[in-house]
Structure 1
Amino acid sequence: MPPEEQVRHRLLDAAEGLLRDQGYESLSVRAVNRAAGMNPAAVHYHFGSKHALVTALLERRLRPVWDGRLADLDKLAGTRTPPDVTGLAAFLVEPMARLAADEDERWALALLARLVLTDAALPWRSPWSAPEPWIAMIRRALPGLPAEVAAERWRLARDLVLVTYGAPLAEPGERPVPPSPDVVIAFVAAGLAAPHPRAEGNGA
């Protein structure tokens, strides 16, 4: 591993330890640099900001869960066959449900929900972390759906899934049990495919 990558991993490891202990709000760049044994400018030099550091950490933790599903999405996006809305809902829901069921990864899912639901301008590297590919897939599955409506439905679906699976602990040691993935997938698919009221009102 190149020396620069080693430094990045040390900073990410330090940030993860602090996030697990203190949470996002209490995390400081200075503390990460100190925990990693680096100079005070290390995080800004290698990542640019606290947001970018935490985004990179989430991608490192969550990417293994998503890798296979993202590869399937890439293949589907490259075919002429329109996707199925239930399949799209499953792509979104199943990785989240898997993370929520993993005691060691649940903190990362809660952090993901907290960041995405409060700040949409995170520097993700994966194209599937941006809304545009999902919106395009939704419009292929539902020909005639206006782009702005597809974008709205994507945001609602994403937020619903994040709230459902990424809710913080209600009480120490307790957490609401989310519905089964099949239930959430069916609900999300129904929302994506719902009749378009504005189109109906215009006689479409």
Structure 2
Amino acid sequence: MTQKVSAGTRERLLAAAERLLLTERYDDVSVRGICAAAGANPAAVHYHFGSKEALVAALLEDRLGALWADRLAEVTADPRPVHRIVDAVLEPFTELTADPLGRLHLRLLAQCVLGRQVGPWQQQWFRIDSWSGLLPGIGEKESGRRWMLAFDLIITRFGGAAVDDRPVTPRAVATLRDFVVAGLTAPTGETDD
């Protein structure tokens, strides 16, 4: 019974945080406000997640993780060209911009990730270390830096469109794809440090 109550409280906290964060700025949403909106004990966020940042990471992983998990598992199972991996990353972003709730999730993702306000990530594809070995001929540290820049660019582009409620045209997505692939595959003259 306690585990059911605990799981119920956890989901109520996620739902309350989602409602608040989709309508208010991250900095304006307090742990106390999330607990109150969930009808939970004021310490519930700390008990279930440890912090507001960990709760938001869990929320984003819960709501968005499934969009990428299968696609990325498929394209990274065997060595694939980098453009296939980038396509698997971009497709869900394009889908999210076509959906009103998806745009709100993108706005939240952009606000939190670009502001470096969330963590720690639990799901594989949300952690940068999962990407470090996916660029042939490029060391892990350099690969991690390149993926971090690529994600900053992608999230900025799609998150900005979500904030402004404007579509991302197929041509803009194609240009973004080409630019990201070029950046990820560019030769490096430096040693990995």
The normalised TM-score by structure 2 is 0.86
1:149 to partner: Cα distance: 2.4
TM-aligned CA deviation for residue 183 of structure 1 = 2.8
The structure-2 alpha-carbon separation of the partners of 1:31 and 1:121, relative to structure 1 and needing over 3 Å to count, comes to: closer
SS at match of 1:105: helix
Aligned to 1:47: 49
Q: Is the 1:93–1:184 Cα contact (8 Å) retained in structure 2?
A: no
Q: Write the distance in 1 (CA, Å) between the matches of 2:165 and 2:39.
A: 35
In the other structure, the counterpart of 1:131 is: 128
Q: How many Å apart are 1:160 and its aligned residue?
A: 0.7
**1:44 partner SS:** helix
Instruction: Give aligned pairs, total.
Output: 187
Post-superposition Cα deviations, 1:17-41, rounded to whole Å, max 9, x if no partner, equal 1112222121011111111111211
Q: Which residue of 1 aligns with 2:91?
A: 94
Give the alignment's Cα RMSD to 1 decimal: 2.2
The 1-side partners of 2:130 and 2:67 are apart by: 19
Question: Are the counterparts in 1 of residues 45 and 51 from structure 2 also a CA contact under 8 Å?
Answer: yes
List runs of 5+ in structure 1 lacking aligned partners.
200-204
1:191 aligns with 2:183: yes
Q: Give yes or no for the alignment of 1:163 onto 2:188.
A: no
Structure 1 residues 197, 107: closer, same or farther in 2, change over 3 A? same
Preserved contact between residue 133 and residue 139 of structure 2 (Cα < 8 Å): no
CA contact (8 A) 1:14 1:36 kept: yes
> What are structure 2's unaligned runs of at least 5 residues?
none
The 5 A counterparts of 1:67-82 are 67-73=69-75, 76-77=76-77, 79=78, 82=79
Residue 147 of structure 1, CA deviation: 2.9
CA distance in 1 between counterparts of 2:6 and 2:166 reads: 41
| Structure exhibiting the larger radius of gyration computed from Cα positions | 1
TM-score, with normalisation over the residues of structure 1?
A: 0.81
Shift of 1:168: 6.3
**SS across alignment from 2:156:** helix
Amino acid at match of 2:152: D
